[in-house]
Amino acid sequence: MYPILEKRRLAEGIYLMKILAPRVARSARPGQFVIVRTDERGERIPLTVADYDPAQGSVTIVTQTIGVSTRRICSLDAGQSLADFAGPLGRPSEFIALSDEELRGKRFVFIAGGVGTAPVYPQVKWLHEHGAQVDVIIGAKTRDMLIFTDAMRAVATNLYIATDDGSEGFHGLVTQLLEKLIAEGKRYDECVAIGPMIMMKFVALTTKKYALRTTVSLNALMVDGTGMCGACRVTVGGKTRFTCVEGPEFDAHEVDFDEAMRRQGMYRSEEQRRAAIEAERAAGHKCRIGLDQ
Ligand code: NAD
Ligand code: FES
């Protein structure tokens, strides 16, 4: 069992939880994710790590209530426990292989959309600790839905905020703010975008115009998280790739976002995902969901 050390409401339907998981906390790296279950029969929910503290042995996750299973996670309180907390899974962000000297010579821009702001944080924190220059753009529907702004301000070189309704910061989408910054003379070597698929698609289209290398973190449907079932497949550079073992980060200019969004739409509700997962379990993980579609 994995005890919940702390629980906080960040915004409407968005909760932060610190989980005691010393082995995961010791080996987690920026960009990786965990798969969580509230009980032995619960759905396996993939969540990108939002922070980790090896000294305390804790890992921070941020969950948005979108269906039965995520509501179940969010209904738990500090003192209660999660049944499963598997990880760290997936490949860490590529930049962690760079030397501090290489990192100091690079200008990064991170685009964080809504709940996707949480997994951006450990990446920016890591880069800050290694001397890189990191601008961050956070986008949300309204000021009430902004999360992690204080934490991000402490590690970002410059923090820019955009809200769809103009209630805080720039009035418009993150892509419009990025274009504005570039028009004002900002130059970047690397862009990382994490948020809703539609945002990542349009960030990729925007940065392609400027030949700005861009990485996205894909939150595909996952079942086993071990590369066996095929549920998390995406097309990158014309090839099928499995998000859970080959991702979650990919070259944004190579991702087939329209296909990824179509597949996400097939399982739009958590209930539809559960049905797909039950079918997968019943087949003993022999089939690869939708591989022939
Ligand atoms: P949201 O809908 O509020 O969007 C956040 C920001 O994205 C907006 O403020 C806007 O600036 C930008 N955006 C949205 N549509 C855009 C477009 N067409 N063009 C350019 N920019 C656009 O975000 P939300 O409601 O918090 O999103 C939740 C989604 O994020 C869920 O689908 C969830 O699965 C996903 N998510 C992804 C990850 C990941 O690892 N990729 C992590 C957490 C959540
Ligand atoms: Fe990736 Fe099953 S979740 S292959």
Q: Domain ends where: 89, 111, 126?
A: 89
How far apart are the C-alpha atoms of 69 and 220, rounded to whole Å? 16
255 and 282, same structural domain?
yes
Task: Please work out whether the CB of residue 113 comes within 6 Å of at least one atom of ligand 2.
Answer: no
157 and 141, same structural domain?
yes
Buried b (16+ CB within 10 A) or exposed e, 70-102: bebbbebeeeeebebbbbbbbbbbebeeeeeee
Task: Please work out whether the CB of residue 244 comes within 6 Å of at least one atom of ligand 2.
Answer: yes
Task: Please work out whether the CB of residue 221 comes within 6 Å of at least one atom of ligand 2.
Answer: no
Contacts of 186 (CB under 8 A, 6+ apart): 109, 135
Q: What is the DSSP letter of 173?
A: -
136 and 84, same structural domain?
no
120 and 73, same structural domain?
no
186 and 113, same structural domain?
yes
Give the pLDDT of residue 281.
57
Partnered with residue 112 across adjacent β-strands are: 138, 194
45 and 111, same structural domain?
no
Tell me which residue range forms the domain holding 232: 218-293
Give the pLDDT of residue 275.
62
207 and 110, same structural domain?
yes
* R_g of the chain computed on alpha carbons: 18
Question: Which listed ligand is nearest to 67 at the C-alpha?
Answer: 1
> Which of 219, 241, 244 is the pocket-test mutation for ligand 2 (most atoms within 8 Å of CB)?
244
Residue 47 belongs to domain with CATH number = 2.40.30.10
How far apart are the C-alpha atoms of 155 and 157, rounded to whole Å? 7
Task: Please work out whether the CB of residue 113 comes within 6 Å of at least one atom of ligand 1.
Answer: yes
How far apart are the C-alpha atoms of 120 and 97, rounded to whole Å? 18
Tokens of 162: 């955009």
| Exposure on the CB side of residue 200, measured as CA atoms within 13 A | 28
Q: Domain ends where: 53, 70, 89?
A: 89
Give the pLDDT of residue 290.
37
- What is the Å distance from ligand 2's center to 130 Cα? 32
Spell out the per-residue pLDDT of the chain, length 293, in tens: 999 999 999 999 999 999 999 999 999 999 999 999 998 888 888 998 999 999 999 999 999 998 888 899 999 999 999 999 999 999 999 999 999 999 998 999 999 999 999 999 999 999 999 999 999 999 999 999 999 999 999 999 999 999 999 999 999 999 999 999 999 999 999 999 999 999 999 999 999 999 999 999 998 888 888 888 888 999 999 999 999 999 999 999 999 999 999 888 776 555 566 666 566 555 554 444 433 32
Asked if residue 172 lies in contact with residue 206, where contact means CB atoms within 8 angstroms, the answer is: no
Q: Domain ends where: 185, 215, 245?
A: 215
20 and 108, same structural domain?
no
Considering only CA atoms, which residue is closest to atom 2 of ligand 2? Answer: 229
Torsion of CA 103, 105, 107, 108, to 10 degrees: -10
Q: Which ligand 1 atom is the nearest neighbour of the CA of 216?
A: 41
Give the pLDDT of residue 280.
56
How far apart are the C-alpha atoms of 50 and 28, rounded to whole Å? 10
132 and 112, same structural domain?
yes
How many distinct structural domains can be found in the chain?
A: 3
Give the pLDDT of residue 289.
40
Give the pLDDT of residue 273.
61
Task: Please work out whether the CB of residue 86 comes within 6 Å of at least one atom of ligand 2.
Answer: no
Considering only CA atoms, which residue is closest to atom 31 of ligand 1? Answer: 196
Residue 202 belongs to domain with CATH number = 3.40.50.80
145 and 119, same structural domain?
yes
Q: Which ligand 2 atom is the nearest neighbour of the CA of 230?
A: 4
Task: Please work out whether the CB of residue 223 comes within 6 Å of at least one atom of ligand 2.
Answer: yes
- What is the Å distance from ligand 2's center to 34 Cα? 13
> Which of 222, 236, 267 is the pocket-test mutation for ligand 2 (most atoms within 8 Å of CB)?
222
